[in-house]
């Protein structure tokens, strides 16, 4: 089975500084271990107490966990609450004038909203949704640019028990069409256009096209927020302006008390490995995961300015933009646009201008910013930062080091957070005042998360060996099912081979001598070269450690003798090389990997591109690269691909 012969040779360890540890919510390794021990000795008691403490309940629960219909678990299932109430109303007594959102638009225009304002805006829009016929349990598609209104729309759905399904504004009409139908949406909320890097992105017209493709009779209304004032086609029966829909609506709205298990939202996964899955989350369990990770992993404090750069179209933008920071009564930054407009200093300027304390982004953004100006952060005052985070893909140790030294200036812990759309909140990540970090490792599970690495039958593996990542006990923030497809839910996440109860994450990982988790990539991404198991992640990290290389993706290609050969797709920091120059770099890089890992890991083939094929959330789509490496036609789903043109370039080999 998936034993991985080579493991990253990373040995750097960064213990929390004394100053950070002292002020941290979970301070020191003993405090972390005590929390873990508490969860292990009384699992239900542990979660029950946290749910009581951190969620404001309308009707308290008397039962914690129901496993009778496993893997269809229920948590706190006789309790009633409302997520929007927990994010807004409960802060009004002492934080009504506190800034909830700092929104910076694509053109740099800043708008601030207090908790009191946000509460009124959410209530008013919730009333407008009710007037449009949305009731508890109805599905609402949100296809919006990053904006205050996007958060208002999500919170307003939560307030009236509507189930939102946010579709990233960069997705095509076709992707939107599929999601509208799959969710059976009654209403679509969109904008005329969004702005990205100075260019308008048509949203309303994509909604028109999606509905025009047929089969969307479920959609009764489309509510349109006027963002740019650009031209739109109008269906007077169906379409309604946001600003008109709220006229005459009261700015208070009694929340609809929902059962803890009532769905809060459906969100389709990124589609990195296949057809997107409609992940369904609960209300209370999801909220609890968001709150605890804000507290434990982000060490959230009342005077923090928290900035998660994710779009609300991704799970990260749900848990750490729309819900988590607000549930904490925190101040957060939301930004519209791209990290490279008006220039590659945008992130750093934003941190400086708003005195951001906690910054959470993705390795893809970090790598592209290194490529565009590794010294740029030094031109800004980043002294407000106290904590950095990363999510979405494994972070290569060299990118981690740059993030630590150049952005965090050597004093900010980095929380590398492993989790998924399905898990709802961070699963494996350092508690920054307790767990020493190692570049490239997501370190240890959060208290109460029983993560492990097993073989393909669910059996134990030897220490230090690689295997498949599982979570052995149910946890509150996990998905409840796949929307409308309970069979796929069971087969995908709780396969019979693993006994039907262990959550299969779909990633492979190994643990080092300290028990730290190192994510190696997707299960399919492990290569078998002449009987040696190699993690693609490790070869990629070796390549990225070379000063010439900005990004790399490695896949396997069937080979008659070796079983599999290693094919690397590489983006250089400089120009894409051709001819002799390309041959020379290939030779250099092969030599480099041979030295870094061992001759067995030397790529048999290296191809160069200006970029790599990525999902719109910035993840490398290795399944497409596998097809390219084999010389196959690409027949799998490419609807979530960001940059289709790059595929042609990568078909060219270096001869």
Token pair, residue 386, equals 């106290």
Helical spans, DSSP H, in 554-596: 579-596
- The smaller minimum CB distance to Mg ion, of residues 328 and 479, is found at 479
Cβ-proximal residues to 102 (8 Å cutoff; 6+ apart), any chain: 110, 111, 112, 305, 331, 332, 333, 334, 354
Distance from the Cα of residue 375 to its chain's centroid? 27
* Residue closer to Mg ion, measured from CB, 128 or 523: 523
576 binds ligand ATP (CB under 6 A): no
Nearer Cβ to ligand ATP (278/337): 278
Q: How many residues does the chain have?
A: 655
CB of 229 within 8 A of CB of 262?
no
Closest CA to 156 of 190, 119, 210: 119
Which residues sit in the known binding site?
196-199, 316, 392-394, 416-421, 507, 522, 530, 533, 544, 549
Helix (H, G, I), strand (E, B) or coil at 590: helix
Q: Which of 420, 465, 481, 536 binds ligand ATP (CB under 6 A)?
A: 420
Neighbours of 285 (CB within 10 A): 30
Least Cα distance to 49 among 41, 615, 268 occurs for 41
- Taking the C-alpha atoms of residue 458 and residue 500, their distance in angstroms, rounded to an integer, is 10
Strand arrangement, sheet containing 451-454: 451-454, 466-471, 503-511, 517-522
Q: What angle in degrees, to the nearest 10, is found between the helix axes of 284-296 and 43-54?
A: 90
Based on CB atoms, which residue is closest to ligand ATP, 191 or 321?
A: 321
State the binding partner of 442 from Mg ion, ligand ATP, none, CB within 5 to 8 A by kind: ligand ATP
Binding residues for Mg(2+): 544, 549
Q: 432-471 mask for ligand ATP (x: CB under 6 A)?
A: ----------x-----------------------------
Q: What is the C-alpha separation between 480 and 282, in angstroms, rounded?
A: 7
Shortest distance, position 506 Cβ to ligand ATP, whole Å: 6
Residue 477 binding partner per list Mg ion, ligand ATP, none, with a CB distance cut-off of 5 to 8 Å that depends on partner kind: none
The C-alpha atoms of residue 242 and residue 222 are separated, in whole angstroms, by 9
- Regarding 403 and contact with ligand ATP (CB under 6 A), the answer is no
Among 127, 147, 165, 270, binds ligand ATP (CB under 6 A): 270
Q: Are 573 and 552 in contact (CB under 8 A)?
A: no
Residues 589 to 648 in contact with ligand ATP, rule: CB under 6 A: 617, 619
Q: Which of 367, 368, 418, 354 is nearest to 391 (CA)?
A: 418
User: b/e string for 512-521 if b means 16 or more Cβ within 10 A?
Assistant: beeebbbbbb
Q: Residue 175: exposed, middle, or buried by beta-carbon count in 10 A (0-12, 13-18, 19+)?
A: buried
DSSP tag of 597: T
Name the residue nearer to ligand ATP (CB basis): 421 or 536. 421
Under the criterion CB under 6 A, does residue 317 sit at the interface with ligand ATP? no
Residue with tokens 């592209």: 368
22-51 residues in contact with ligand ATP (CB under 6 A) are: none
The answer to whether residue 239 forms part of the interface with ligand ATP (CB under 6 A) is no
- The nearest distance, CB 316 to ligand ATP, in angstroms, is 8
Tell whether residue 541 is a contact of ligand ATP (CB under 6 A).
Answer: no
Rule CB under 6 A: is residue 267 a binding residue for ligand ATP?
no
User: Closest CB to ligand ATP among 189 and 399?
Assistant: 399
| Binding of ligand ATP by 393 (CB under 6 A) | yes
426 binds, among ligand ATP, Mg ion, none (CB under 5 to 8 A by kind): none
From 169, 389, 397, 506, residue interacting with ligand ATP (rule: CB under 6 A): 506
Q: Which does 417 bind (CB under 5 to 8 A by kind): ligand ATP, Mg ion, none?
A: ligand ATP
- Interaction of residue 421 with ligand ATP, rule CB under 6 A: yes
Query: Interface residues for ligand ATP in 60-79 (CB under 6 A)?
Result: none
Helix, strand, or coil here: 22? helix
- Binding test (CB under 6 A) with ligand ATP, winner from 272, 331, 437, 536: 272
The smaller minimum CB distance to ligand ATP, of residues 270 and 536, is found at 270
- Nearest to ligand ATP of 310, 344 (CB atom): 310
Query: Which residues of the shown chain bind ligand ATP in the complex (CB under 6 A)?
Result: 269-274, 276, 315, 391-394, 416-421, 442, 505-507, 519, 522, 617, 619
């Amino acid at each position: 089975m998936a034993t991985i012969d080579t493991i990253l040779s990373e040995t750097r360890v960064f213990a929390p500084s004394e100053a950070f540890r002292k002020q941290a919510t979970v301070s020191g390794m003993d405090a972390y271990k005590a929390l873990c021990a508490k969860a292990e000795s009384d699992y239900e008691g542990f979660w029950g107490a946290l749910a009581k403490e951190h969620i404001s309940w309308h009707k308290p629960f008397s039962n914690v966990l129901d496993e009778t219909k496993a893997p269809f678990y229920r948590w706190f299932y006789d309790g009633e609450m409302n997520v929007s109430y927990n994010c807004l109303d409960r802060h009004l007594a002492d934080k009504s004038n506190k800034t909830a959102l700092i929104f910076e638009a694509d053109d740099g225009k800043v708008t601030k909203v207090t908790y009191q304002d946000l509460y009124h805006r959410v209530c008013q829009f919730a009333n407008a949704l009710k007037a449009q016929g949305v009731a508890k349990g109805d599905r609402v598609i949100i296809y919006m640019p990053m904006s205050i209104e996007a958060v208002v729309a999500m919170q307003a759905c939560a307030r009236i028990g509507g189930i939102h399904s946010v579709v990233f504004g960069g997705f095509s009409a076709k992707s939107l069409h599929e999601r509208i139908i799959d969710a059976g949406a009654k209403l679509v909320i969109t904008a005329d256009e969004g702005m990205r890097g100075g260019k308008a992105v048509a949203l309303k017209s994509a909604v028109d096209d999606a509905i025009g493709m047929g089969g969307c009779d479920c959609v009764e209304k489309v509510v349109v927020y006027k963002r740019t004032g650009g031209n739109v086609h109008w269906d007077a029966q169906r379409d309604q302006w946001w600003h008109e829909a709220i006229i005459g609506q009261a700015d208070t709205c009694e929340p609809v008390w929902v059962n803890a298990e009532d769905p809060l939202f459906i969100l389709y996964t990124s589609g990195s490995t296949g057809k997107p899955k409609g992940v369904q989350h609960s209300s209370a369990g999801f909220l609890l995961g968001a709150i605890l990770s804000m507290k434990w992993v982000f060490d959230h404090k009342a005077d923090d300015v928290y900035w998660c750069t994710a779009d609300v179209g991704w799970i990260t933008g749900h848990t750490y933009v729309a819900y988590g920071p607000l549930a904490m009564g925190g101040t957060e930054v939301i930004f519209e646009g791209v990290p490279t407009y008006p220039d590659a200093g945008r992130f750093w300027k934003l941190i400086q201008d708003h005195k951001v304390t906690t910054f959470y982004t993705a390795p893809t953004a970090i790598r592209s910013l290194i490529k565009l100006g590794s010294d740029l952060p030094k031109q800004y005052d980043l002294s407000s930062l106290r904590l950095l985070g990363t999510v979405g893909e494994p972070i290569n140790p060299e990118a981690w080091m740059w993030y630590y030294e150049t952005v965090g200036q050597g004093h900010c812990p980095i929380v590398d957070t492993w989790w998924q759309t399905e898990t709802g909140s961070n699963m494996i990540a350092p508690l920054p005042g307790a767990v020493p970090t190692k570049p490239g490792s997501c370190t240890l599970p959060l208290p109460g998360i029983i993560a492990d690495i097993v073989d393909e039958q669910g059996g134990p593996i030897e220490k230090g060996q690689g295997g498949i990542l599982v979570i052995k006990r149910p946890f509150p923030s996990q998905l409840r099912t796949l929307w409308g497809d309970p069979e796929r839910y069971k087969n995908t996440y709780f396969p019979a081979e693993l006994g039907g109860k262990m959550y299969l994450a779909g990633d492979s990982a190994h643990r080092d001598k300290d028990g730290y988790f190192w994510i190696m990539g997707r299960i399919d991404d492990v290569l078998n070269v002449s009987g040696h198991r190699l993690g693609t992640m490790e070869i990629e990290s070796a390549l990225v450690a070379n000063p010439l290389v900005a990004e790399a993706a490695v896949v396997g290609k069937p080979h008659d003798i070796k079983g599999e050969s290693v094919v690397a797709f590489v983006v250089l920091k400089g120009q894409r090389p051709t001819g002799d120059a390309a041959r020379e770099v290939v030779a250099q890089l092969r030599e480099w990997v041979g030295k870094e890992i061992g001759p067995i890991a030397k790529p048999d083939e290296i191809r160069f591109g200006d970029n790599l094929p990525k999902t719109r959330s910035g993840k490398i789509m290795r399944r497409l690269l596998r097809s390219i490496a084999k010389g196959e036609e690409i027949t799998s789903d490419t609807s979530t691909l960001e940059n289709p043109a790059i595929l042609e370039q990568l078909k060219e080999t270096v001869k």
